């Protein structure tokens, strides 16, 4: 395949499209939250008497200018983005995943507890891999297949 065909295949794959949409939505959330912090929260801090948050804690030492207020503003912006992403995206996705998992039919258990050491072992196990004690398998061992005509001899 040519380079263009490989690129088209890569760009039209489902994972790539979902990732691109996620990045665009993430950038939009960051822009909105940045505007919220810059235009609403920083002036509220100014109303409290500390001036604008970006100007809070600015220090000049030997002609070097340190902007601790800008760092505090960026940290606040980061925390607000984290909270927004958690409550708007991560938490609803987790709840939806839990609802989907609850609807799936559950099969028989595949593990059980060893009666001697209480470690989790396979239900078909005849010996515990942790303490090596013999256990009775819960599932019957598989029966060998019967070949037609072989039992008649």
Query: Do 98 and 115 belong together in one domain?
Result: no
4 lies in some domain: no
The reply to whether 3 falls in a domain is no
Confidence check: pLDDT of 27 > 80: yes
Residues 54 and 117 in one domain: no
pTM for this predicted structure: 0.51
- How does DSSP assign the chain, residue by residue? --HHHHHHHHHTSHHHHHHHHHHHHHHHHHHHHHHHIIIIIHHHHIIIII--GGGTTEEEETTEEEEHHHHHHHHHHHHHHHHHHIIIIIHHHHHHHHHHHHHSPP---SEEE-TTT--EEETT-SB-TTT--B---SSPPPPPPPPTTTTT-
Taking alpha carbons only, the member of 143, 145, 141 closest to residue 122 is 141
Residue 18: pLDDT above 60? yes
Please state, rounded to an integer, the average pLDDT across all residues of the chain: 81
Do both 26 and 57 map to the same domain?
A: yes
Average pLDDT over residues 128-138: 88
Give the domain range for residue 55: 13-103
Residue 144, pLDDT score:
67
**pLDDT value at residue 149:** 63
Is the pLDDT assigned to residue 32 strictly greater than 70? yes
* Whether residue 116 has pLDDT greater than 70: yes
pLDDT value for 108: 82
Stronger pLDDT, 141 or 130, i.e. the higher one? 130
């Amino acid at each position: 395949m040519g380079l263009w065909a490989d690129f088209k295949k890569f760009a039209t794959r489902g994972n790539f499209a979902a990732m691109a949409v996620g990045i665009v939505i993430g950038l939009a959330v960051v822009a909105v939250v940045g505007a919220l912090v810059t235009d609403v929260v920083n002036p509220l801090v100014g109303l409290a008497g500390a001036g604008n948050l970006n100007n809070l804690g600015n220090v000049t030492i030997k002609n070097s200018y340190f902007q601790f207020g800008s760092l505090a503003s960026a940290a606040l912006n980061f925390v607000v983005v984290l909270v927004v992403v958690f409550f708007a995206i991560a938490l609803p996705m987790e709840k939806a995943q839990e609802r989907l998992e609850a609807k799936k039919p559950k099969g028989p258990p595949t593990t059980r507890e060893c009666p001697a050491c209480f470690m989790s072992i396979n239900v078909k196990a005849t010996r515990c891999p942790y303490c090596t004690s013999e256990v009775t398998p819960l599932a019957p061992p598989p029966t060998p297949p019967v070949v037609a005509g072989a039992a008649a001899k």
